[in-house]
Structure formats: structure tokens, C-alpha cells
Amino acid sequence: MTTVSRTFTVTPPPPVVLDYLRDFSHAEEWDPGTVSCTRDDSGPVRVGSTWHNVSKIAGVSTELTYELVSATDDTIELVGTNETARSTDTITVVPHGSGSQVTYQAVIEMSGAAKLASPLVKLVFEKVGNDTEDDMVRVLDALA
């Protein structure tokens, strides 16, 4: 299991940040590994909404189905799964001055033969975490 976490501040207040991040199709704008992220259902985004995410990280392409499993006044939890991995992404957004403090934590669990790559996964996702933080700050600040 690999855990990557980043905490940073952005200009918009929590409701704006949470509303934007709740729609995981926006990952195309802030996740450097995401090639495409298409919503599977329609209507308002809600717990149970799902997305088909295609990512390419360190030259390896993968597809996961993400589901919004929880959405509260300050936290969003998305779970992405496929045959070899499970990613639980928890995003917590709290007030910070007139803006927000965002904590993004990704827990990646490999299964089967993919477990052998876990040490490499940690190194790769630490780099991805840095790039994601940079992109997310840029995109969220543009919402202000």
C-alpha cells in the first residue's frame, strides 16, 4: 500500500473548491497523469456518481472506474478500481483565512502480481503528488 498526501492553501473559499472537486471529470485539468476522465452517469454529481478515468503515469497506461463514495461539508472521497489497483482519494477542504486549506490524500493498493511494484509505485506517486499539488493550486486559484 502506498500513501501520498499533500496539504496546501488556495484562494477560493471551501464551498467553491468542494463544488469543483466533487466533479471528478475536472481531474483532466489538475491531475497530470489523467489523459481523460468521463462521467458515466448524468444529472447532478452525487454520492454514487462514477467516472471512467484513463491515466498514463511513468509511461504506463491504466484505466480505473472512480466512484464518489462520500461527500460532506468538508470532505470528498473517491475510490478508483480496476483488476490490479484500488485508489482511495480523500480530499478535505477547510477554511483558511478568506480561502481554503486543501489536504489531498491518495492511498494506492496494488493487487496480484502488481504488488511486486509497490516500492516503485511509492517513488512515482510522490513525484506525481508534487505535480498534482502544483496543478491543483493553479486551477483552484483561477476559480477565485
* Residues with Cβ within 8 Å of residue 127, at least 6 apart in sequence: none
Residue 83 pLDDT > 70: yes
Residue 54 pLDDT > 80: yes
Structural contact between residues 62 and 85, judged by C-beta atoms closer than 8 angstroms: yes
E strand intervals along 11-136: 34-39, 50-57, 60-71, 75-81, 85-96, 99-110
Q: Where are the domains of the chain?
A: 2-141
- Determine the average pLDDT of the residues in 94-104: 97
What is the CATH number that goes with domain 2-141? 3.30.530.20
Structural contact between residues 45 and 126, judged by C-beta atoms closer than 8 angstroms: no
Q: What pLDDT is recorded for position 125?
A: 62
Place of cell 482519494: 89
Of the two residues 53 and 118, the one the predictor is more confident about is 53
Of the two residues 125 and 102, the one the predictor is more confident about is 102
Question: What radius of gyration do the chain's Cα atoms show?
Answer: 15
Q: What pLDDT is recorded for position 116?
A: 46
pTM for this prediction: 0.89
Sheet with strand 50-57: strands edge to edge: 2-10, 99-110, 85-96, 75-81, 60-71, 50-57, 34-39
Number of H helices, E strands in the chain: 3, 7
- Digit-coded pLDDT (tens) for 116-135: 455 556 556 666 677 889 99
- Determine the average pLDDT of the residues in 135-143: 96
- Digit-coded pLDDT (tens) for 58-75: 787 899 999 999 999 999
Name the average pLDDT for the chain: 90
Interatomic CA distance for residues 141 and 93, integer angstroms: 14
Q: What pLDDT is recorded for position 112?
A: 61
Residue 96 pLDDT > 90: yes
Residue 113 pLDDT > 80: no
